[in-house]
Amino acid sequence: MKSGAEAIPLWRQLNATAAVVMAVRDGVSGTAAIERIPSELRAGVQALAFHVWRNLGRAQALRSKLVNKLPPPPADALLCVALSLAWQGADAPYDMFTLVNQAVEAAKRGVSTKAQANFLNACLRRFLRERDALVASTDADLTARWNHPLWWIKRLQKDHPQQWQAILLAANSHAPMTLRINVRKTTLTDYLSLLEKTGIVARTTDGGALVLERPVAVQELPGFSDGWVSVQDAAAQMAAPLLLGQALQSPSLRILDACAAPGGKTGHLLELTNSPVVALEIDARRIERIHQNLTRLGLEARVLTADASRPQSWWDGQLFDAILLDAPCTASGIVRRHPDVRWLRRESDIAQLAEQQKTMLHALWKLLRPGGRMVYCTCSVFLAEGHNQVQTFLTHNTDAALLPSAGHLIPQNGAFCEGVPDNQACDYDGFYYALLQKRMV
């Protein structure tokens, strides 16, 4: 007898995946769109949707070769889902004829696609007949080749003329599962030994993170429920140590973590220091994630639902010694983990987010004591949200000094990464870090 997951027909999963793809096109995040899917479909649809988003550029280019006029959005989403899954031929996740049959069945059963079922059938049957020629005809299309919007590709070419191809290759890869050890409860050596005993293969990075050979459910990680370890990318693990440094190891520090949800960096700060931490998050729904993470780690912070850019609504007037600003951004550095982002974002978002980052930087800088330190970081590879933002800030704030820090971490698919000390091998998400110090008056 088949399990519930195995019994779910492919056409049903394709319809749900098309709904998720269409939602992202309408401005809904992939995470939120997948959460709307019935629970019995969710895991399968997430796997399909991730595959689609990593191949959507090629699918859209192929669709343009097959149609003279775009079909209605629901039918177009289903057509692009099928093409994303089928275009690679022998490497496709399903037999192509099965996939086409099930896509047509999905169209017939969909309320919004029933009228286009014959149209989809004709397009996909033609694709099967002419696949090699159609794929070859789209090879020169940059969006098809790199599976990113053209504006995104051009922005990377301008910002990183030597690394743009490596960045895009890394963005289309599968991210590893990386762990942060809670040094209050175990050591890197001891935890690595525990993993080996449970049959989980891992390697250490020069920065002290653990990278698993294969992802596992967090429940399989020794001590996870007791807070021994957290899942956090190696690039994100650089924030807390960079802010604290050796000079700031004191139990009397006042530390602020702005834009703190889901609480990974808040937890890391508390693991490394006995100083109290104030954690801000504007989204009340995400506050619960911070509390859940801190409870699991056995740590406490003062968590406030507040807008970091409006200190007058929450600040008590006492200056902070250290401030971590992990600012809202395009998330262009973490598209390997969230492949929907490239299709969710619009080019105009960069300027809007850069303005928001600027406002936060200036507002929080006033809350930092002379001699205090601030880490400004974004999970972005765009210069407007990193290097350019900080250079503009330094120009307008003569009391700010830029200390040695990582700069832009450029992911290169496991090769050497720009910005990492000593040119060490890495497998990081794309990030930007700047360590700022307020000059003494």
pLDDT digits (tens, 9 = 90+) for 251-301: 689 999 999 999 999 999 999 999 999 999 999 999 999 999 999 999 999
What is the Cα–Cα distance from 104 to 409, expressed in whole angstroms?
A: 44
What is the Cα–Cα distance from 63 to 79, expressed in whole angstroms?
A: 8
Give yes or no for residue 425 having a pLDDT over 50.
no
Active centre residues (catalytic): 379
Instruction: Give the model's pLDDT for residue 6.
Output: 55
Q: Do 212 and 258 have their domain in common?
A: no
Q: Do 291 and 389 have their domain in common?
A: yes
What is the Cα–Cα distance from 204 to 182, expressed in whole angstroms?
A: 15
Instruction: List 281's β-bridge partners, or say none.
Output: 305
- Quick one: pLDDT band at residue 101, thresholds 50, 70, 90? very high
Q: Do 398 and 417 have their domain in common?
A: yes
Give yes or no for residue 353 having a pLDDT over 50.
yes
Average pLDDT over residues 367-396: 97
Q: Do 211 and 251 have their domain in common?
A: no
pLDDT tens-digit profile of 168-186? 999 999 999 999 999 999 9
Give yes or no for residue 420 having a pLDDT over 80.
no
**H or E element at residue 202:** strand 202-204
What is the Cα–Cα distance from 63 to 77, expressed in whole angstroms?
A: 10
320: nearest Cα among 383, 274, 366? 366
Q: What is the CATH number of the domain that holds 74?
A: 1.10.940.10
In a domain, 156, yes or no: no
What is the Cα–Cα distance from 231 to 224, expressed in whole angstroms?
A: 9
- Quick one: pLDDT band at residue 250, thresholds 50, 70, 90? low
Residue 280, φ and ψ in degrees, nearest 5: -105, 145
- Contact, 159 vs 201, CB < 8 A? no
Q: Do 198 and 62 have their domain in common?
A: no
Q: Do 298 and 212 have their domain in common?
A: no
Beta-carbon contacts of 181 under 8 Å, excluding residues fewer than 6 positions away, are 187, 188, 191, 208, 210, 228, 229
Q: Do 194 and 301 have their domain in common?
A: no
In a domain, 203, yes or no: yes
- Quick one: pLDDT band at residue 303, thresholds 50, 70, 90? very high
Q: What residue numbers bound the domain in which 409 lies?
A: 236-438
Q: Do 251 and 225 have their domain in common?
A: no
Instruction: Give the model's pLDDT for residue 93.
Output: 86
pLDDT tens-digit profile of 114-164? 999 999 999 999 999 999 999 999 999 999 999 999 999 999 999 999 999
- Contact, 41 vs 105, CB < 8 A? no
- Quick one: pLDDT band at residue 3, thresholds 50, 70, 90? very low
Give start and end residues of each alpha helix (H) in 67-149. Answer: 73-86, 96-109, 117-137, 142-146
- Quick one: pLDDT band at residue 52, thresholds 50, 70, 90? very high
In a domain, 206, yes or no: yes
What is the Cα–Cα distance from 328 to 306, expressed in whole angstroms?
A: 14
Q: How many domains does the chain have?
A: 3
